Amino acid sequence: MSYFMIIRRESLVAFRNRHEALSPLLFFFLVCLLFPLAVGSSSKILDDISSGIIWTAILLATLMSLTHLFRKEYDDGTLELMMLSHHSLAVLVMIKLAAHWIINILPLIVLAPFIASALGMDLHIQGALLLTLFLGTPSLILIGATVATLTLVIPQNGMLLALLVLPLYVPVLIFGTSAVDAAASGLPTAGPLYMMAAILILSLTLTPFAIVSALKIGISQ
């Protein structure tokens, strides 16, 4: 039952810090807005890179949301209490990450189709886009959380976090956009989608251990 309480707690904290939860959404929207202004709204160019724009913007927004993952809990000692509880730390972490995804990333995925239409993406391609987002963003959160917990001991970890995480994000980005591009050209999308699913499963099974290990390292300070 207390696992549900964690989701409730996360939602409550997020609601009381609305600006923190809304920042990724606003950032995503603004970045996507920049591209038509920068490359000119002639539909051909925008059309070709629309999948790349949305994926990159979501990736960067996810990165932003990671900087405040565990930060408050680490700073005020809640993290140590969580680790001392008799619940499995791995499960606690996974639930917290699930809540983080629902609060921070799901709104972006909901907004994505509208932005995609504004960038000139056809509706049936947006289906592929949404599928890649659902497969890919959980992996981004899991991998990102691993590195975020490693950098918890560093007070201002934003820049370093970005530098450490981006090489690990590149495979997800490449497969995500290639799946959408394949759909746009009428080619089979199964290949990249399977790869994204594989990355997701690998992340789900392996990153909890890494995250727990990193948390223990952070606490030992």
Q: Where on the chain is the footprint of another protein (CB under 8 A)?
A: 143, 146-147, 150-151, 153-154, 157, 160, 163-164, 166-168, 170-171, 174, 202, 207, 210, 213-214, 217-218, 220-221
**Least separation, in Å, of the C-beta of 126 and another protein?**
26
Nearer to another protein, 103 or 179 (CB): 179
**Least separation, in Å, of the C-beta of 208 and another protein?**
12
First to last CA, the chain: 32
199's CB contacts (< 8 A; 6+ apart) are: 136, 139, 171, 172, 175
**Least separation, in Å, of the C-beta of 205 and another protein?**
13
Nearer to another protein, 146 or 189 (CB): 146
CA atoms of 37 and 25, how far apart (whole Å): 19
Nearer to another protein, 22 or 170 (CB): 170
**Least separation, in Å, of the C-beta of 176 and another protein?**
15
CA atoms of 92 and 89, how far apart (whole Å): 5
CA atoms of 59 and 213, how far apart (whole Å): 25
CA atoms of 156 and 133, how far apart (whole Å): 29
Nearer to another protein, 115 or 196 (CB): 196
